[in-house]
C-alpha cells in the first residue's frame, strides 16, 4: 500500500481541530494514572476508594465504622465488588455526582486531614467498570430520618464528565450482610439505621499476596483499630454447580478501640505556604473590607498585631481595599508576609493514630515479640501541617512464618490511615527506611537498602494534603521536610529496638551458657562422687547445690 | 489553646460541602504531577512544553522548524522564558484557550504520533508563572496572509479553567532574534513570514548539568536533525551594572537534515485494542446505519469481509442498527471481534527518526569512535502502534571527557522525539537497558544495573500514544510489549558494538605486541652484531629486515 501523504496544515485548518478535552476522557485514556492499569491493581484500587469514602463519612459523622467488603467472581476475568457501610448515607441529589463525575467532592477545597482528597477515586472505579463491562455503578443509600433507601444506577458520560442516571428508585433498606460475632460464630443479620452500599462490576483478577485486597484489608484494620471490617471473597471454584452459591464464610477483623478518633479540624491556609499568585487571588476573593482584616481573617496564625506588622513592613495602609492591593502592591505584601515571624500552622487539623493504638493495631494482626511506636510532633511542609508516626514489631526468628529472618524487613506504608501497597520503590517512606543506619541498632543492612530481619516497620503520614506522586495515591513525594521527620521517627524506634535486641542477645548468650553447664552438672557430680567417694545422697545434694548456684548466676546476668 | 471539637456531620451537612473541582484547581494544587515541583524542573518543563508545541506545529504545516529558546534571569529566583518559532502561527480566537485552559488541544482525540498529546502543558506553564509571579503569559503570533501580528496577554481563571484576556492588540510582526550564520559569525535579523512567540515569567532556578535546559536543547537537536535551534541564557551576573544587557551570544544548533520528516497519518482505532465499554460508545456515536458498515468504517483493518465474519460469529444481523447492538448485544459482538483474525494496525501513523538520521544526530553532538543505530519494525501495545529505535555511540576511553570509562553508560531517552530527562529510574527504557546482558557484548555490567563504559545509549519510542507514568511526561510505563521491543533493539546494537569492541581489542593487542617487539629490535640487532661480528652496515640491514618481518606479521594479525 502506498503511503498516503497527509496534507500540510495551516493555522486555519489546525484551529478547526482544536477542542476541549473533558477530564473524564483524559483519565479514561490515562487510566493507569488512577491505578487502573492492570486487572489486579484495578480490583484493589476500587476496594480502596470505596473503603476510604466509607471511613471518611463515618468518622465525619461521629459513627464507629462497620464496613463489609465483598468480592465475587462472576466469570474468569469478571468480578463484582460490593462495599457496605453504616455511615450517614448520601442524599439522593448527591449520589450521581459523587459516583459518576470526576473531580467532585467535599474534601478538595478544605484544609483538613481525610483519606479522600481529590474527588476522583470512586467515580474512576465506576468508570473503569463501565469501560470494561459496559455496566453501571449501583448505589443503595439510606440517610437518617428517611424510611426508605434510594437505589440508583449511574454511569459517567465520559464525553462531558456528567452523570447519566439509569435507575432511580426507592426501596426498603435491607440488612445487607451477616457478620460474625466476637466468639467466631455466625451472627444475626444486622440492619443499620443508615448507610451506603456500592456495587461495581469490573474486569479484574484476584491474586493473594503482598499487593492483594487481602493485604489491604488487613493493613486497614491495623491502622484503623476503631474499624470493624467484614471481608469475603467468593471465587468461581467456591461456587456449587447449581445456581446457589456455597456460602464462603466472612472473615471479621474486630475493632480493638471503641471510640471514633477525634475529628480533625479544618484550618485556614498559613501565609508562609501561600504563593504570590494565590495571595493575589485570595485578596481578590476576600469578603473582608480592609487589608488588615483580610490578613487576620483569611489566614491562620495572623493575629491583629501580626497583620498590622505585615502592613507596616510592606508600607501599605492597613485600611486599604484588599482588591486594590491584589492588583498593585501584592509583591510588596508578599515579601512582608514572608519576612514576618508567625506561629507555625495549627495542628488540630491532624488526627494521628497515637502510639498506644499503633501498638494495639500491630499486636492484633502481627505476631511478634517486641512492639514499639513513636508519634512525632506535628510540623509543616510547604505550609501544610503534617505528622509522622512509626511503629515496629520484631518477631523472634522463626516465630512468625511471615517474617523471615534473612529477608528484607516488611515496610507497611500508610497515608492518612490508608494502606499504600503499590509503588513502594517510588515512595519517600521506603527511601527513609533504607536511609536509616540500622546496623547501629543491631540489624544487618546491605548498603543503601532495607535492613534484613524478622521486622515489620509501619510508617504513617497524617496531613491535610499528602503529596502523592500520582493520582492513584500510591507513593509519597520526596519533600525533604517529610523525609527528615520520617528519619527521626524511624531512628527513635530503632534505638528502642536496639535496647530490646541487645537484651535479647545477652539473654540468649546466658541461656546458651546455662544449658551448656546444665548438661555437664550430672557428669561433674559423678566425677566428684568418684573422687571424693560420695554416697548417692551426697551426689544428689551436690547436683542440687550446683543447679542452685547456676540459677543464681543466671539471674544476675 | 483548647482543641475545638468539630461538630459531627450529617448526610445533609456533608451534601452542602460537595462541589465541583475544576481541573485547573486540581492541577494547581498538584502541580508536581505536571513537572512543576521544583524551581529547576519548572524551568525545563516550561521550555519543553513550548518547544514541543512549536515543533509539532511546524511539522504539521510542512515547515522546516527554526526555534529560539531564550532564558533571562530577572531576579535571584525569577526568570523570563521566551520561545519563538517560524511555525504557521495561531488564529486569534484560539490563542486564549491554547495558552490559558488546561485540557484543550487538537492532539488528544486523534490517533497520530505527535509530541504533545494532552492539551495541558503550555497552559500549565503559564499557570505556574501566574501562581509564582502573578504575571500573565504573553503571546505574539502572526499567521500567513495576515499583515499584522496579534499580541495577547492571558491568564487562567483557575476557579473555572477558563482564559482571562488581559490584553488583545494588533501590532507589526518584528524580527524577534538574531541568529548566527553557519560560519559562526553573527547573522542578520531574520523576519519570518509567520510564527509564534510566547513569553512566561516564572519563579525558577537555572542549573547546568544532566537535568538542565542546556541538556534538553542539545538532546532535542540530536533527535530532531531537521531542527535549527538558537539558545541563549542571560544570568544576572552577565548583565552590566547599567540597564542595558551585555549581549550574551546565541548558541546555534544547526540542522543537518534539510527536509521536514514525513508527516504521520491519522488512524482509526484497531478493534483489538478497544474495550467493551468503548465499543458500545462507538456504536452509539457512529454515523453508519448498519452494524457492518460501522465496523468497517469506524475501525482500522476491518474489511467488508472481516466485518461480515464478525457479524456471523456474533450471530448478529449485519444490517442491524448499531445503536440497538450497543445496548443489547454488545458482549457477543465484543467476543466476536476479539476472536476474529485481523491485520495489525497500520503504521504510517508513526514517523520514526530513521537509522541514518539517528547516527547523523549522534555524530553531530557526541564525539565518539563508533556509531550504530537500529529502527525496529513497528508493532502494537493495547491496540496502539509503536516503534522502537536505538542508537549507540562508543568513544575510545579518554577520548571524550564527557564519557567516562568507569562510570555507568549514559542513557538518553526520547518519546516521540522529545528528550526525557527526569525520572529515569521509573522509566521502562532505563529498565530495558539494565535488563540486557551487556557482558555478552564485551562491556562490564554490575548485576541488574546499567553497563559501565564510555558509551551513549539513545532510545526512542514513537507511538500514537506514549503511556507516560505521569502527566509531566517524564517516564514510559512498563508495558511488556514495549520492554520487549526495547530489548530487541538494544541487543541488536549490542551485537554490532561487540563486533567493533572485539576488533578494537584485537588491534590493541597487536599494537601492544608490536610496540613491545619494536622496543627490542635495536637491542636484538646489537646482540646479533656482537655474536656474529657484523659491521654497522650489516647491523642496519638486520634491523630493517626485522622491522619488515614485524610489519608483515602485524598486517596478518
pLDDT tens for each residue of A466-510: 999 888 899 998 888 899 999 999 999 999 999 999 998 888 888
- Report how far residue B338's alpha carbon sits from residue B340's, in angstroms, rounded to the nearest whole number: 6
**Alpha-carbon dihedral of residues A435, A439, A440, A443, nearest 10 degrees?**
110
Q: What is the pLDDT of residue B557?
A: 47
Of A19, A23, A30, the CB nearest to B109: A19
Class of domain B355-502: alpha beta
Please give the residue of chain A at the shortest CA–CA distance from B12: A91
Q: Is B548 helix (H, G, I), strand (E, B) or coil?
A: helix
Q: What is the pLDDT of residue A551?
A: 65
Of A61, A97, A330, the CB nearest to B134: A330
Q: What is the pLDDT of residue B243?
A: 52
Residue A348 scores a pLDDT above 50: yes
Give the pLDDT confidence of A525-534 residue by residue, as tens digits: 777 777 777 7
Closest Cα in chain A, distance from residue B113 (Å): 12
Inter-chain touch B131–A105, beta carbons under 8 Å: no
Please give the residue of chain B at the shortest CA–CA distance from A131: B277
Residue A135 scores a pLDDT above 70: yes
- Report how far residue A509's alpha carbon sits from residue A502's, in angstroms, rounded to the nearest whole number: 10
Quick one: how many helices (H) and strands (E) in chain B?
15, 16
Mean pLDDT of successive 10-residue stretches along chain B, which has 557 residues: 62 87 89 89 96 94 93 95 94 95 88 86 95 94 91 94 95 68 59 91 94 94 92 86 64 88 85 88 91 93 94 93 84 92 86 92 91 93 90 91 89 96 90 95 90 96 92 89 96 97 88 75 74 79 73 56
Write out chain A residues lying below 8 Å of B266, CB-based: 6
Cβ atoms of residues B371 and B359 within 8 Å: yes
Cβ atoms of residues B1 and A84 within 8 Å: no
Q: What is the pLDDT of residue B491?
A: 97
Inter-chain touch B281–A94, beta carbons under 8 Å: no
Inter-chain touch B19–A101, beta carbons under 8 Å: no
Q: What is the pLDDT of residue A550?
A: 63
Mean pLDDT of A58-85: 94
Residue A366 scores a pLDDT above 70: yes
Looking at the domain A23-253, which fold is it?
Answer: Heat Shock Protein 90 (3.30.565)
Please give the residue of chain B at the shortest CA–CA distance from A106: B18
Name which of B155, B124, B122, B43 is nearest A326 in CA terms: B155
Q: What is the pLDDT of residue A384?
A: 86
Name which of B69, B23, B17 is nearest B43 in CA terms: B69
Inter-chain touch A110–B15, beta carbons under 8 Å: no
DSSP A550: H
Give the pLDDT confidence of A431-460 residue by residue, as tens digits: 999 999 999 999 999 888 899 999 999 999
Write out chain B residues lying below 8 Å of A62, CB-based: 8-9
User: Given the DSSP bridges, would you call strands B455-463 and B410-415 parallel, antiparallel or unpaired?
Assistant: parallel
The set of residues, in sequence order, having a beta carbon less than 8 Å from that of A23 and lying 6+ positions away, is A102, A103, A161, B23, B103
Which carries the bigger pLDDT value, residue B24 or residue A184?
A: B24
Write out chain B residues lying below 8 Å of A94, CB-based: 15, 18
Class of domain A355-499: alpha beta
Closest Cα in chain B, distance from residue A499 (Å): 36
Q: What is the pLDDT of residue A161?
A: 94
- Report how far residue B58's alpha carbon sits from residue B220's, in angstroms, rounded to the nearest whole number: 15
Q: What is the pLDDT of residue B175?
A: 58
Residue A187 scores a pLDDT above 70: no
Name which of B49, B48, B70 is nearest B123 in CA terms: B49
Write out chain B residues lying below 8 Å of A17, CB-based: 106, 110
Chain-wide mean pLDDT for chain A?
Answer: 88
Q: What is the pLDDT of residue A557?
A: 47
Inter-chain touch B108–A25, beta carbons under 8 Å: yes
Residue A185 scores a pLDDT above 70: no
Place A3 in a pLDDT band, splitting at 50, 70 and 90: very low
Q: What is the pLDDT of residue B157?
A: 93
Q: What is the pLDDT of residue B2?
A: 41
Q: What is the pLDDT of residue B552?
A: 65
Residue-range domain boundaries for chain A: 23-253, 271-339, 355-499, 503-556
Inter-chain touch B88–A11, beta carbons under 8 Å: yes
Rounded to the nearest 10 degrees, the angle between the axes of helix A213-223 and helix A355-365 is: 140
| Phi/psi of residue A43, nearest 5 degrees | -60, -45
- Report how far residue B156's alpha carbon sits from residue B124's, in angstroms, rounded to the nearest whole number: 9
Write out chain A residues lying below 8 Å of B39, CB-based: none
Size of interface A-B (CB pairs under 8 A): 204
Looking at the domain A271-339, which fold is it?
Answer: Helicase, Ruva Protein; domain 3 (1.10.8)
Name which of A410, A406, A407 is nearest A419 in CA terms: A410
Place A55 in a pLDDT band, splitting at 50, 70 and 90: very high
Q: Burial, B370: exposed, middle or buried (Cβ in 10 Å; 0-12, 13-18, 19+)? A: middle
The set of residues, in sequence order, having a beta carbon less than 8 Å from that of B388 and lying 6+ positions away, is B376, B459, B460, B461, B462, B482, B485, B486, B488, B489
Place A61 in a pLDDT band, splitting at 50, 70 and 90: very high
Q: What is the pLDDT of residue B1?
A: 38
Write out chain A residues lying below 8 Å of B32, CB-based: 467, 469, 477
Name which of A446, A426, A420 is nearest A434 in CA terms: A446
Inter-chain touch B18–A104, beta carbons under 8 Å: yes
Mean pLDDT of A372-391: 92
Looking at A81-196, list the stretches that DSSP marks H as alpha helix, in order from N- to C-terminal side: 95-99, 121-133
Of A6, A89, A470, the CB nearest to B263: A6
Inter-chain touch A104–B19, beta carbons under 8 Å: yes
Closest Cα in chain A, distance from residue B230 (Å): 24
Amino acid at each position: 500500500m502506498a503511503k498516503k501523504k497527509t496534507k500540510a496544515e495551516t493555522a486555519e485548518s489546525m484551529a478547526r481541530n482544536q477542542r476541549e478535552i473533558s477530564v473524564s476522557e483524559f483519565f479514561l485514556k490515562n487510566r493507569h494514572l488512577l491505578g487502573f492499569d492492570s486487572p489486579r491493581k484495578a480490583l484493589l484500587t476500587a476496594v480502596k476508594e470505596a473503603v476510604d469514602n466509607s471511613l471518611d463519612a463515618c468518622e465525619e459523622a461521629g459513627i464507629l465504622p462497620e464496613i463489609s467488603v465483598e468480592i465475587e467472581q462472576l466469570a474468569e476475568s469478571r468480578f463484582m465488588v460490593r462495599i457496605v457501610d453504616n455511615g450517614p448515607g448520601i442524599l439522593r441529589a448527591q449520589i450521581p455526582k459523587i459516583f459518576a463525575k470526576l473531580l467532585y467532592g467535599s474534601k478538595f477545597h478544605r484544609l483538613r486531614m481525610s483519606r479522600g482528597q481529590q474527588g476522583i477515586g470512586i467515580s474512576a472505579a465506576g468508570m473503569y467498570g463501565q469501560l470494561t463491562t459496559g455496566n453501571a455503578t449501583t448505589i443503595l443509600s439510606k440517610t437518617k430520618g428517611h424510611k426508605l433507601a434510594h437505589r440508583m444506577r449511574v454511569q459517567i458520560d465520559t464525553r462531558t464528565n456528567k452523570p447519566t442516571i439509569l435507575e432511580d428508585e426507592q426501596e426498603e433498606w435491607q440488612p445487607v450482610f451477616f457478620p460474625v460475632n466476637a466468639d467466631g460464630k455466625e451472627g444475626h443479620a444486622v440492619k443499620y439505621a443508615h448507610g451506603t452500599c456500592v456495587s461495581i462490576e469490573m474486569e479484574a483478577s484476584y491474586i493473594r499476596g503482598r499487593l492483594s485486597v487481602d493485604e489491604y484489608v488487613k493493613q486497614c484494620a491495623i491502622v484503623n483499630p476503631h474499624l470493624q471490617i467484614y471481608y469475603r471473597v467468593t471465587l468461581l471454584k467456591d461456587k456449587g454447580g447449581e445456581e446457589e452459591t456455597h456460602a464462603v464464610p466472612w472473615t471479621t477483623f474486630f475493632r480493638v478501640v471503641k471510640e471514633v478518633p477525634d475529628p480533625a479540624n479544618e484550618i485556614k491556609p498559613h501565609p508562609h505556604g501561600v504563593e504570590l499568585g494565590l495571595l493575589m487571588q485570595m485578596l481578590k476573593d476576600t469578603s473582608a473590607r480592609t487589608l488588615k482584616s483580610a490578613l487576620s481573617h483569611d489566614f491562620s496564625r495572623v493575629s491583629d498585631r501580626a497583620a498590622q506588622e505585615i502592613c507596616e513592613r510592606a508600607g501599605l495602609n492597613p485600611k486599604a481595599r484588599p482588591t486594590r492591593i491584589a492588583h498593585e502592591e501584592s509583591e510588596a505584601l508578599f515579601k512582608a508576609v514572608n519576612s514576618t515571624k508567625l506561629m507555625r500552622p495549627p495542628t488540630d487539623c491532624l488526627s494521628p493514630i497515637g502510639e498506644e493504638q499503633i501498638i494495639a493495631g500491630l499486636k492484633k494482626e502481627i505476631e511478634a515479640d517486641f512492639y514499639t511506636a513513636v508519634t512525632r510532633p506535628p510540623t509543616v511542609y510547604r505550609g501544610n501541617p503534617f505528622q509522622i508516626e512509626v511503629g515496629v514489631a520484631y518477631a523472634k526468628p522463626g516465630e512468625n512464618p511471615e517474617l523471615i529472618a534473612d529477608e528484607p524487613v516488611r515496610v507497611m506504608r500508610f497515608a492518612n490511615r490508608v494502606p499504600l501497597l503499590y509503588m513502594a520503590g517510588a515512595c519517600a517512606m521506603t527511601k527513609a527506611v533504607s536511609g536509616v543506619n540500622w546496623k547501629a541498632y543491631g540489624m544487618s543492612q546491605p548498603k543503601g537498602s532495607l535492613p534484613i530481619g524478622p521486622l515489620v516497620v509501619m510508617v504513617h503520614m497524617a496531613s491535610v494534603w499528602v503529596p502523592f506522586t500520582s493520582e492513584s495515591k500510591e507513593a509519597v513525594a520526596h519533600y525533604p521536610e517529610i523525609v527528615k521527620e520520617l528519619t527521626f521517627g524511624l531512628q527513635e524506634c530503632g534505638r528502642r529496638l536496639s535496647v530490646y535486641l541487645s537484651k535479647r542477645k545477652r539473654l540468649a548468650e546466658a541461656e546458651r551458657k546455662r544449658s551448656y553447664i546444665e548438661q555437664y552438672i550430672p557428669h561433674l557430680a559423678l566425677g566428684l562422687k568418684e573422687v571424693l567417694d560420695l554416697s548417692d545422697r551426697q551426689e544428689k545434694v551436690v547436683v542440687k547445690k550446683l543447679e542452685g548456684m547456676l540459677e543464681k548466676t543466671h539471674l544476675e546476668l
